[in-house]
Structure 1
Amino acid sequence: MPLIVLGLNHKTAPVDIRERLTFGPDVIVAALRTLLEQSPADEAIILSTCNRTEIYCATDTRDIETPLRNWLGSFHGIEPQLFAQHLYAHKDREAVQHLYKVACGLDSMVLGEPQILGQVKAAFKTACEVGGSGRLLGRLFQCTFAVAKQVRTDTAIGSSPVSVAFAAVSLARQIFSDLTKQTALLIGAGETVELAARHLHQHGIGRIIVANRTVERAHRLAAQFDGYAIALTELASHLPEADIVVSSTASPLPVLGKGTVERALKQRRHRPMFMVDIAVPRDIEPEVGQLRDVYLYTVDDLQGVVDEGMRSRNHAAEQAVEIIDLHCDEFMAWVRSLDAVSLIQDYRARAECIRDEAYSRAARQLAAGKPPQEVMRHLAHVLTNKLLHEPSVRLRQAGREGQSELLDAANELFQLSQGQDTGH
């Protein structure tokens, strides 16, 4: 049964296309059900995030790309020609390799980011609830989770900072070994500050305060991480609470001056403050870095940490690809074994049919009074002839046509080169 993944991501499609083709949690169940009903897919799983939409399918239909593309457009009310050029399709081994890379963070916007694995697990859980995951995709996704775990364990793919926000939090953890007792003051409410808040929250920060010119926006961000919001005008009164300060605003002038920080340090009885100024132009006056109990870093200071982290992750990604390729081979070997299982089942079913027919004939002969020894001899003769007739005809034909590969395969299959066991 062929495997296929059809999708688009941040590398192949602009955000306006990705937004129109995403599957939110409110429609994903209905989408899976209609996909299974309206397409040739026997099994299906939909992975949809802000950066990618992918449909994983197992099917006996070789040409499934067109039906999937048409279904995707129909479900979202978009003509396929408007997004077809942004789609990619991977089949069989390439599909397996692609999923492994996605789950390990090798195909993410931020190399090695861990959130995607949770999203892959959620997509699989939803498909299981709907009945979209069967023997093939079920085995594939379980193997995917094992591969992702091994990559995380055996490589440094997720341990090195590759963003300024991550680098800032990594430095904070070096200065304050236990973040659970610390308070972080985040100035601004943009993407970088949100990412810093996420990393701090993941590492168990004690408290988060978000300061922004628009308090409503600060409140929306703070609410995600059990923090609270303040206006920029309240900075001076809350600064003494902050052990960690991360600032990234669009202000043309500094929002924190040396005098304000000095007064905060006095109220803190000179307990150290870790400050990161990610803004350009600067949010924190450079003179603040001259204060004895302040560790001030700018975006330029952190860039070296980011560059080193990226080099480390790139090296880890090379190791991860080696692990992925090995597990791809193992999974595809399992898929090929399914063909053998089906063949064996068919062959046994045919042999059992011949057996049952011969047995019924022998039973009738015994009921008619024929001597048992004669009936048994006839039964053995019939079974031997019927089981060997078609293979014998095919082997004679192969011999006449010079099909040496088939003859060698038969020799290996029946182990004829080892000689016949006659029982003597």
Structure 2
Amino acid sequence: MTIVNIGLSHRTAPTELLEELAVPAALLGAMLARLHAVPTIDEVAVLSTCNRIEVYAVTRGPAEPLTQTVAGLLAERGGLPVGEIARIACVHVDAAAVEHVFAVACGLDSMAVGEDQITAQVRAAARAAAEARTSGPVLTGLLDAALRVSKRARTQTTISTAGISLVRAGLDLADAHLGGLATRSAVVLGSGSVGRLAARLLREAGVGRLSVAGRSEASTAEVAAACHGSALRPVDLPGALAHSDLLVAATGSVVPVVRAEPVRAARERTGDRPLLVLDLGMPPDVEPAVGGLAGVTLVDLDAIGRHLTEQEVPADVPRVRAIVTAEVISYLRRQEEAAAAPFIGAMHAQVRELAETELRRLHRRLPGLTEQERAETAATVYRILRTFLHRPAVRARELAAGPEGAVHLDALRALFDPTVDEAASALTYHRASHAALPGTPSLDRGPAWRQ
């Protein structure tokens, strides 16, 4: 089993390419299904945000062929040669992939270092993979671990409070451009998570009039009410722009929804009133030609990125990196220990089968034993075996997690030689070794023996 991460981010790819590769929520299920159909991929999840597109996959084969396959699918989506994607993509394998997803979840790899939107985006990626049935125990465990690491980092350090989100960075630019947001008139287009955050921050900044427009009437009304604003229908947007200073677009649409001609027509009624358009969409929500209209300034993710490079790196970044390193070591150790579980389970299963056979033979030879005496005999045997096997099981997990873990696993395989079915059954037994049902033969609880 190999964990492979291949992706592009703001660190390696231009915004224009990330726009082409971005996978909107509505298309994510199809993308996951296509990736999961690749024979070498057992599990897969996709993390698509405004500044990254990443594929996390579990394969039974080597990483290189899988990397080429994923690069090919991304290249097809972006309309580029495979070689171009392979040249700029970052690939992480096994321990490096674990470290990368932990760092991503903590906001260390974000355009806005420390921003906390990425936590929700990782959670959404895990949920999407689960709903599409393309994830399994490995990826589910990995992404859950990443979310726990993120929570620890944000609880034990000031990375979140020091960090600045893309939305806040964009509104900082708007504030500087407009000479302050207080008393200004603003429209938020989009009622999803980004739109909700933008509306809340605008209200906190003291905007005078705040309107929210979106496809869903219910969620638009909810966001507007929460921010003491007014809800608009999309068809009412041009009219609202005639009286607005700021438009924040964050719809998650696959095509631009703010086009130049309607904006131009709306501005014919505004005279020289300036309009700042903040495009937080990925792909973009705003047609580039909008920025060429008289009196209109378009601020996109590229501009926000340039602004963020001028910000100081949060002081707690080294502490968060130390947390990530410690958690990676802990995660890998747990995985290495778990590799011994099928063999430990097989050991238990073989000894249990031997004990059952011998107990049945004993009871046939001593038919006069009462039911209580049979139960006591079985309990004594299982107590001895449980005590005897405890130390070997502990040492097997320790050795599997050691520097020569593969050698020791080979030794366990040679000793117990569990088949695939036996290993799966043994693993189930091992995980439930302290939860045996009453009357079920196990090394943890003797059955009520009957002849």
CA 1:324–1:160 in 2, change beyond 3 Å: closer, same or farther? closer
After superposition, residues 255-270 of structure 1 pair within 5 angstroms as none
Q: Distance in 2 between matches of 1:366 and 1:147?
A: 58
User: Unpaired runs of 5+ in structure 2?
Assistant: 189-193, 213-236, 252-262, 279-289, 300-305, 368-376, 393-406, 413-451
Corresponding residue number in structure 2 for 1:342: 342
Q: Secondary structure at the match of 1:347?
A: helix
CA distance in 2, matches of 1:8, 1:28: 17
After superposing the two structures, state which structure 1 stretch, 78-87 or 119-128, moved more: 78-87
Q: Which residue, out of 267, 272, 282, partners 1:231?
A: 267
What does the per-residue CA deviation read over 1:118-151, in whole Å, with 9 as the maximum and x for residues that have no partner?
A: 2222111111112223222222222222322333
Provide, for residues 18-69 of structure 1, a one-character-per-residue CA deviation record: whole Å limited to 9, x for no partner. Answer: 344433323321222232232323222111223222111234x240341343
> How far does the alpha carbon of each residue in 1:299-326 deviate from its partner, in whole angstroms, 9 at most, with x for none?
xxxx9x989x933x33122222122222
Q: For the residues of structure 1 that align with 2:250 and 2:93, how far apart are their CA atoms?
A: 41
- 1:166·1:196 contact (CA, 8 Å) conserved in 2? no
Alignment CA distance shift 1:217-1:73 (3 Å): farther
Aligned counterpart, 1:330: 330
Number of corresponding residues: 308
Once the 2 structures are TM-superposed, how far is the Cα of residue 98 of structure 1 from its aligned partner? 0.8
Contact 2:114 2:164 (C-alpha < 8 Å) held by counterparts: no
Are the equivalent residues in 1 in contact too, given 2:247–2:276 (CA < 8 A)?
no
Closer/same/farther in 2, CA of residues 156 and 64 from structure 1, 3 Å limit: closer
Q: Distance in 2 between matches of 1:115 and 1:183?
A: 27
- Comparing 331-340 with 72-81, greater Cα deviation is found at 72-81
What is the distance in 2 between the residues matched to 1:47 and 1:85? 20
Percent of residue pairs identical: 24
1:353 corresponds to 2:378: no
1:115 alignment partner in structure 2: 117
Q: Which residue of 1 aligns with 2:140?
A: 138
- Cα gap change, 1:348/1:20 in structure 2, threshold over 3 Å: closer, same or farther? same
> Hey, what's the Cα distance between the residues in 1 that align with 2:153 and 2:333?
21
Instruction: Report if aligned partners of 2:114, 2:163 keep a CA contact under 8 Å in 1.
Output: no
Q: Equivalent residues in 2 for 1:368-383 (5 A)?
A: none
Which deviates further from its counterpart, 326-335 or 161-170? 161-170
Aligned match of 2:92? 90
What is the RMSD of the two structures over their aligned residues, measured on CA atoms? 5.2
> Structure 1 pair 208/94, CA: closer, same or farther in 2 (3 Å)?
same
Match of 2:6 in 1: 6
Q: Report the Cα offset of residue 200 of structure 1.
A: 5.9
Q: In 2, Cα distance between the equivalents of 1:223 and 1:85?
A: 34
- 1:222-247 per-position Cα deviation (integer Å, ceiling 9, x unaligned): 37589xx86387378x89xxxxx989
- The DSSP-based 3-state class of the residue aligned with 1:144 is helix
The answer on whether the counterparts of 1:41 and 1:57 sit within 8 Å (CA) in structure 2 is: yes
C-alpha distance in 2, partners of 1:355/1:345? 15
Q: Note the C-alpha offset of 1:72.
A: 4.8
CA 1:71 to 1:365, structure 2 compared with 1: closer, same or farther past 3 Å? farther
Deviation at 1:336, TM superposition (A): 2.0
Counterparts of 1:209-220 in structure 2, within 5 Å, are: none
Q: Secondary structure at the match of 2:147?
A: helix
Quote the Cα distance in structure 1 between the aligned partners of 2:6 and 2:163: 31
Q: Which has the larger radius of gyration?
A: 1
CA-to-aligned-CA distance 1:98-123 (integer Å, 9 cap, x gap): 11221222112222233322222211
Within a 5 Å distance, the mapping from 1:3-402 to structure 2 comes to 3-59=3-59, 61-74=60-73, 76=76, 80-153=82-155, 154-159=157-162, 165-167=170-172, 183-185=183-185, 199=198, 201-204=200-203, 205=207, 207-208=209-210, 222=247, 224=249, 231=267, 234=270, 310-311=311-312, 313-358=313-358
Q: Is the 8 A contact 1:39 1:71 kept in 2?
A: no
| Amino acid in the other structure paired with 1:310 | Q
Contact kept, 8 Å, 1:169 with 1:200, in 2: the verdict is no
For the residue of structure 2 that corresponds to 1:38, the secondary structure is coil
Residue 6 (structure 1) shift: 1.6
TM-score by length of 2: 0.53
Contact 2:8 2:90 in 1 (8 A): yes
> Is the Cα contact below 8 Å between 1:4 and 1:95 reproduced in 2?
yes
* Separation in structure 2 between the aligned mates of residue 170 and residue 346 of structure 1, nearest angstrom: 65
| Offset from partner CA, 1:195-234 (integer Å, 9 cap, x none) | 9997564353552489xxx9699589737589xx863873
SS of residue paired to 1:314: coil
The superposition leaves residues 244-295 of structure 1 with CA deviations (integer Å, 9 ceiling, x where unpaired) of: x9899989x9x7xxxxxxxxxxxxxxxxxxxxx999xxxxxxxxxxxxxxxx
Between the aligned partners of 2:33 and 2:121, the Cα distance in structure 1 is 19
Residue aligning to 2:216 = none
Preserved contact between residue 115 and residue 164 of structure 2 (Cα < 8 Å)? no
Structure 1 counterpart of 2:104, one-letter code? V
Alpha-carbon separation, structure 2, partners of 1:155 and 1:62: 40
Q: TM-score, normalised by structure 1?
A: 0.55
Change (3 A) 1:224 1:246: closer
Given that 1:209 and 1:222 are in contact with CA atoms closer than 8 Å, whether structure 2 keeps it comes out as no
Q: Conserved in 1, the CA contact under 8 Å of 2:106 and 2:153? A: yes
Q: Tell me the residue number matched to 1:419.
A: none
Cα–Cα, structure 1 residues 46 and 234, in superposed 2: closer, same or farther, change >3 Å?
same
1:56-86 deviation per Cα after TM superposition (whole angstroms, max 9, x unaligned): 1234x24034134314524736653342112
- C-alpha distance in structure 1 between counterparts of 2:314 and 2:148, whole Å: 21
Which amino acid in 1 is paired with 2:332?
Answer: M
Question: Please, which runs of 5 or more residues in structure 1 have no aligned partner?
Answer: 190-194, 240-244, 256-276, 280-302, 368-375, 392-404, 411-424
Q: 1:167 to 1:152 in 2, by over 3 A?
A: farther
Aligned equivalents of 2:46, 2:63: Cα separation in 1: 15
| Alpha-carbon separation, structure 1, partners of 2:163 and 2:361 | 75
Using the TM superposition, give the Cα deviation of residue 365 of structure 1 relative to its aligned residue in structure 2, in angstroms: 7.0
Q: 1:247 to 1:130 in 2, by over 3 A?
A: closer
